[in-house]
């Protein structure tokens, strides 16, 4: 059995007659990294400004910031994936900081009141990164934003090619929009259904050979420098998903159910989980376990399960080249394994993952 790492397109939801999504609160971009750059520009940040960035981050998401000319200052996260206020204060006291990127990891919202109080006192802009947790923040209004703005990468939660978005705590002018090409919509559907056929044939799309090919393609694509801040009208597929409250609600419930079932079984089998249970209406991106002995991702992928580590080979060079300065980031990068729980997974597939995982300690 093959367990995909991300949800498949839902034809019923795509052709539902439910209403349109009110996109007036948002500015849309093709990718979340483009929304992040646009957000910083709209907040008045300039090339050369000092921006604090958590070291535990994917390099491709901050590459446009490098290209634009921001000076990125990395900070290690603590053992709970939070930014330590004492270290933040030290950096702020030693440099003129203009903004802070605050990441809410894997669908769980961080407790950020102390950080917000510090940044407001120092007039530092705060961008909340909800790229991992669109479904946790779904349909809340701007009043829910504690920072100056928030960004999303909706394609990490919904089966679409696009989905970069931002909300900012003042009026934004959504000018110069261009359509997502219909061909992009069609190409995405064709590729995902081709993947589905390949999986149905029993071909392990997570084999080492295929994985090496995908990694080479991904690295080549990310090598292309870009700081595109052009806004988009969202694709037809994304519009249909966002306008379908029944699909979104069912997705939230299914992910929560999958997580709870997997979490209980894995704890009973001796696994250490980073989050044992859900709280604060979190809709998790994955079920996260500690890999204390190494090799768990390789084992799961050899069994057809699309588990992954993050950011893995996309950890920023500034961090990997100075690993002694960022011990918690390096530890989590090497020792956390993310197991899919998305809305396309049936109970049969969850049970298959439980059986495979139960053999890990044998």
pLDDT tens digits, one per residue of 88-100: 999 999 999 999 9
Q: Answer whether residue 140 shows pLDDT above 70.
A: no
Which of left, alpha, beta for 354 (phi over 0: left; psi -120 to 50: alpha)? alpha
Average pLDDT, integer, range 114-137: 94
Please work out, in degrees rounded to the nearest 5, the angle formed at the alpha carbon of residue 251 by the alpha carbons of 15 and 284. 145
Q: Answer whether residue 121 shows pLDDT above 80.
A: yes
The number of angstroms, rounded, from the C-alpha of 82 to the middle of its chain's C-alpha atoms is 16
DSSP letter, residue 3: B
Count of other CB atoms within 10 angstroms of residue 204: 19
Q: How many residues does the chain have?
A: 362
One-character DSSP codes across 318-335: HHHTTGGG-HHHHHHHHH
Query: What was the pLDDT predicted at 115?
Result: 96
- Sign of torsion over alpha carbons 212, 214, 215, 216: positive
Count of other CB atoms within 10 angstroms of residue 286: 24
Query: What was the pLDDT predicted at 180?
Result: 66
The number of angstroms, rounded, from the C-alpha of 291 to the middle of its chain's C-alpha atoms is 21
Query: What was the pLDDT predicted at 173?
Result: 52
Average pLDDT, integer, range 292-319: 95
Average pLDDT, integer, range 235-261: 94
Query: What was the pLDDT predicted at 141?
Result: 61
Highest mean pLDDT among 142-151, 177-186, 230-239, 348-357: 348-357
pLDDT in tens, 13-65: 998 887 777 777 889 999 999 999 999 999 999 999 999 999 999 999 999 99
Report the distance separating Cα 195 and Cα 266, nearest Å. 28
Based on its alpha-carbon atoms, the radius of gyration of the chain, rounded to whole angstroms, reads 20
Which of 281, 264, 282 is closest to 273 using CA atoms?
264
Report the distance separating Cα 229 and Cα 3, nearest Å. 35
Q: What are phi and psi of 75, to 5 degrees?
A: -135, 135
Q: Answer whether residue 77 shows pLDDT above 70.
A: yes
Report the distance separating Cα 299 and Cα 342, nearest Å. 20
Q: Which of 75-84, 166-175, 226-235 has the lowest mean pLDDT?
A: 166-175
Q: Model confidence at 7, in pLDDT bands (50, 70, 90)?
A: very high
More confident residue, 272 or 234: 272
Q: Which of 32-41, 203-212, 300-309 has the lowest mean pLDDT?
A: 203-212
Q: Answer whether residue 145 shows pLDDT above 90.
A: no
Q: Are 356 and 303 in contact (CB under 8 A)?
A: yes
Q: What are phi and psi of 232, to 5 degrees?
A: -130, 150
Q: Answer whether residue 113 shows pLDDT above 80.
A: yes
Average pLDDT, integer, range 165-190: 72
Instruction: Report the percentage of the chain scoring pLDDT > 70.
Output: 90
Start-to-end C-alpha separation, the chain: 21
Count of other CB atoms within 10 angstroms of residue 218: 13
Instruction: Report the percentage of the chain scoring pLDDT > 90.
Output: 74
Query: What was the pLDDT predicted at 281?
Result: 84
Query: What was the pLDDT predicted at 224?
Result: 60
Query: What was the pLDDT predicted at 24?
Result: 77
Helix, strand, coil % in the chain, rounded to nearest 5:
45, 15, 40
Residues sharing a CB contact under 8 Å with residue 300, sequence separation 6 or more, in sequence order: 206, 307, 337, 339, 353, 356, 357
47-53 contact pairs (CB < 8 A, 24+): 49/98, 49/99, 50/95, 50/96, 50/97, 50/98, 51/97, 51/98, 51/99, 51/100, 51/101, 52/88, 52/91, 52/97, 52/99, 52/100, 52/101, 53/101
Average pLDDT, integer, range 330-356: 97
Query: What was the pLDDT predicted at 18?
Result: 75
- Count CA atoms closer than 13 A to 345's CA, side-chain side: 30
Helices (H), the chain: 11-14, 32-42, 59-68, 85-94, 113-122, 182-200, 208-222, 236-243, 245-268, 296-302, 317-320, 327-335, 347-358
Average pLDDT, integer, range 195-209: 89
Q: Model confidence at 232, in pLDDT bands (50, 70, 90)?
A: confident
């Amino acid at each position: 059995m093959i367990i995909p790492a991300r949800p498949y397109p839902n034809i019923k939801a795509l052709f539902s007659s439910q209403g349109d999504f009110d996109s007036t609160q948002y500015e849309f971009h093709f990718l979340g990294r483009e929304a992040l750059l646009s957000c910083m520009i709209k907040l008045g940040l300039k090339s050369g400004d000092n921006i604090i960035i958590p070291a535990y981050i994917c390099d491709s998401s901050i590459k446009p910031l490098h290209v634009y000319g921001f000076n990125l200052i990395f900070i290690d996260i603590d053992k709970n994936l939070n930014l330590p206020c004492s270290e933040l204060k030290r950096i702020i006291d030693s440099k003129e900081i203009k903004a802070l990127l605050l990441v809410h990891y894997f669908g769980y919202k961080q407790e950020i009141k102390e950080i917000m109080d510090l940044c407001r006192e120092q007039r530092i802009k705060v961008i909340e990164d909800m790229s991992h947790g669109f479904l946790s923040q779904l349909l809340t209004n701007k009043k829910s934003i504690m920072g100056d703005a928030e960004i999303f990468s909706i394609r990490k939660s919904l089966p679409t090619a696009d989905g970069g978005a931002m909300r900012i705590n003042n009026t934004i002018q959504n000018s110069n929009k261009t359509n997502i090409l219909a061909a992009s919509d069609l190409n995405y559907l064709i590729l995902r259904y081709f993947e589905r056929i390949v999986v149905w044939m029993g071909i392990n799309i997570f084999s080492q050979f295929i994985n090496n090919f995908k990694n080479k393609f991904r690295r080549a694509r990310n090598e292309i420098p870009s700081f595109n801040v052009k806004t988009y009208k969202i694709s037809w597929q994304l519009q249909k998903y966002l306008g379908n409250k029944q699909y979104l609600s069912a997705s939230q419930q299914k992910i929560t159910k999958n997580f709870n079932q997997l979490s209980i079984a894995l704890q009973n089998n001796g696994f250490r989980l980073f989050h044992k249970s859900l709280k604060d209406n979190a809709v998790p991106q994955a079920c996260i376990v500690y890999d204390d002995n190494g090799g768990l991702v390789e084992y799961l992928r050899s069994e057809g399960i699309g588990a992954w580590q993050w950011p893995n080979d996309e950890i920023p060079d500034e961090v990997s080249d100075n690993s002694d300065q960022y011990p918690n980031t390096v530890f989590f990068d090497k020792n956390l394994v993310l197991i899919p729980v998305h809305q396309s997974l049936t109970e049969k597939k969850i049970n298959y993952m439980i059986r495979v995982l139960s053999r890990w300690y044998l």
